[in-house]
Structure 1
Amino acid sequence: MAQPNDPNQTKAQAPAEESAEAQDLSLDQLDSMILSEAPDFANDLKNVAFIPSDGSIDLDVPDPGENYVPDNPWKDTIGIRKVLVTILPFLPKLWEFQYRTRNKIYLFRTRLKTALIEAGPRLLQASKNSATATKAYSKERVTAFKSLNRPMKAVAAALIVAAGLTFAFIYRSMTRGVLPPEKEFLTASLEEWAVHAYKYDPDSEMDSFYDSPRTIQNIMSLPKMVVNIRPSPSSGPNPMAAMEFFLEGLSPEAIVEVKDRESEIRDLFQRTIEEMSYAELESTEGKQQLTEKLRQSLNINLTKGKIRRVFFKEVVIKP
């Protein structure tokens, strides 16, 4: 058994007593000791950012750089991975691509979250600063206006009113215009003046003005006339034609004039028919050509109106 005055025992008990004394030091005493012996280190400790304990920072997941790529597990592999890389040599590049993509998505999400969190306070602070600056500027302008004499105040008020009117004039010019729109001297359509506008189909919903049963038909009949016509190889030496016509005028005045000059009109018709041959009058096209010639000759000689149509009432042709 060792004696109390054993030097080995004294040396063994000394560290234990020092450690016990160190454990009895409080945190305040430790801070004071650090502050007195190493003030620079104490200041560095105060500048360390506080780490929140709400789990908003994931200490297990490091914040990698955008171009950081860890060691590729598909390179220098053995076993089943080596076989897969031999069969599919693009697997290492595919792994790096997915890692970079996931890293970019993680960084984008983190930055977006930080920006959204900081956007509110920044916007609020910017609004407060703007309101404060506006208030100070307005107060300064009001003070400057009050310091002016009466003539200068009148000039300043006139300038303010003129600036407001100028702004209103520019705004109205850019939106609705100042001068009224120019109106055309001639009206292209009566639709803009009508109370109601109606649409119709001209092919199925329109009646001819002259052929409508609701209008007066200006029609008269010329008595039958017998005329010698020119012979043709298919006729005899003296072919003849007996014809009776209907005349349709565009106005009653034209029919009245034809009635008054009936003998003259009959002679005009006979002279025109004599120029036609038997072969021409025998065909349908020849008969239509004759009625058109009669209409044109008649309209040239009339003075109070025009004839719209000349058509046959009866036709007899002798070869």
Structure 2
Amino acid sequence: MADNENTTKVESQKPEGAPEEESSEELLSLESLDSILEKEDPEFAKSLQNIGPDDPSNPIVIEESDLEYKLSDEVKYWERQEGWRQKLVKVFPFIPRISYYVRLQHMALRLSWRKFKEQSIQFLKNLGPNLKTLLVNVVSGLKSWIGDVISTIKGFSIIQKVGLAVLVIATGAGGVVLYKIATNKLIPAHEELFLPTLEEWADKKELYQADQVEPFYDSTRVAQNIFSTQRIFANIRKSSQSGPSPMAALEFFVEGTDADVVVEIKDREPEVKDLFLRTVEEFTYDQLASAEGKQMLCERLRKEINKILTKGKVRRIFFKTAIIKP
């Protein structure tokens, strides 16, 4: 038999219980096998002859679009339905489009969830090894950095080493000092920055009832620092109970905490008058016609004039004359 001839190895059947050394092997060529198949089963041999290589001129191609689920597939699916679904499609022909969109969204959600689930599982599986790797990298980097620092320090001269040691000790001592200062251990905080009362320094302490004391500023034994302003005429804002052009003619008494306040107001009387005029013009007729509105105006004037004074403060302002024209 030629060396290049295709052969197959066929074991001969041996009777049951026969010794192993009595079995025989027979080598058959592929041509002998084909002749045996033609004799035993001609139809099977004929079918084998029809099997051959793929035709290169007509290859089998599976396009990707054939694997996609299209709108036409959904329409065909609904056309095959029976019963109430078939009636529903006839009444509402747009149902296949909605069903197609819902199906695609459902598939996308399922794929997204599966992807997220797989990624989460992989993340949890790799969490331990990743943390271990990160810790190993950090430790190795720290060791490398410490080694570089030590090698750099070894290259210093004696003076540089001494200076570095002094710098480290000074930095540590400074940190301790700052910590003790922040926790009030080095410099204790005072209980009171200012002295709120002289009670602790007084020889004795006495208590008085409310009817036994006398107001300081309202006492008749204290000079009343009161200044009378000139009459001002102002156009006030109209309201529901006024005419189209309400006006007010007003005079005030201004009381200061000391004589310097009165002197300053007298020296700056034109400025004070203009300030009063602009403040009065912001009020309405209904406000100035009521007692609450007049009291509000006096309080507003007191705050505005105290903003421009340089000596003392105005204690209170009250009306001398008030004429309101609707």
Q: TM-score range by the shorter chain?
A: 0.3 to 0.5
TM-score (normalised: structure 2): 0.39
Say which one has the larger Rg: 1
TM-score, scaled to structure 1: 0.40
